């Protein structure tokens, strides 16, 4: 049987060791009682799986295609004939929404010169929607591209995150 004093000493040594061995970087934030956490390794793992599916099989409809055709629900905050914006289901900031084109472009690196007007429109919608969402103090725009960019859904999408101070470098 371990005495209380011995357990405290062992606990002081073991807990940091176990934590160091099992550490996974996380994005974490708690504001106003709401927590925003996402594991960096989870996002990278999702990106690796998505990249393999993209490379070795016929592309399946993405979650974004299903949002566009309304077969799954989303909290849509903007919509026009070229794109939609909706709240991220796993936010990493108090305000986190996505802007996606109706045209299926798997990756930014696969966009063509003829998509320039659409790409500009997506950024304009991101800016206007950020204003409506109260992000007057600033926000971050992120576009993940491919496996090394941690893209987990192969349908071009713009993340708009704000409502807190962002850190640098991002990741």
- Is 157 a residue of the active site? yes
Catalytic option among 10, 121, 155, 157 = 157
Task: Give me the DSSP letters along the chain.
Answer: ---HHHHHHHHHHHHHHHHHHH---EEEEEETTEEEEEEHHHHHHHHHHHHHHHHHSPPPPPHHHHHHTTSS---EEEE-SSEEEEE-SS-SSSEEEEEEESS--S-GGG--GGGHHHHHHHHHHHHHHHHHTT-TT-EEEE---TTTTT--SSS--EEEEESSPPPSS--
Q: What residues act catalytically? A: 157
């Amino acid at each position: 049987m371990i005495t209380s004093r011995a357990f405290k000493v062992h606990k002081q040594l073991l807990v940091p060791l176990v934590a160091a061995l099992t550490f996974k970087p996380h994005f974490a934030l708690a504001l106003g009682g709401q927590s925003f956490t996402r594991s960096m390794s989870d996002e990278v793992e999702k990106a690796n799986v998505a990249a393999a599916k993209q490379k070795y099989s016929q592309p399946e409809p993405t979650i974004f295609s299903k949002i566009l055709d309304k077969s799954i629900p989303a909290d849509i905050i903007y919509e026009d004939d070229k794109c939609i914006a909706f709240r991220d289901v796993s936010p990493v900031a108090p305000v986190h929404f996505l802007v996606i084109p109706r045209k299926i472009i798997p990756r930014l690196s696969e966009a063509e010169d003829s998509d320039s007007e659409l790409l500009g429109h997506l950024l304009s919608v991101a800016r206007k929607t950020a204003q409506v969402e109260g992000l007057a103090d600033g926000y971050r725009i992120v576009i993940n591209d491919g496996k090394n960019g941690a893209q987990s859904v192969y349908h071009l999408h713009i993340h708009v995150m704000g409502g807190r101070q962002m850190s640098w470098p991002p990741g």
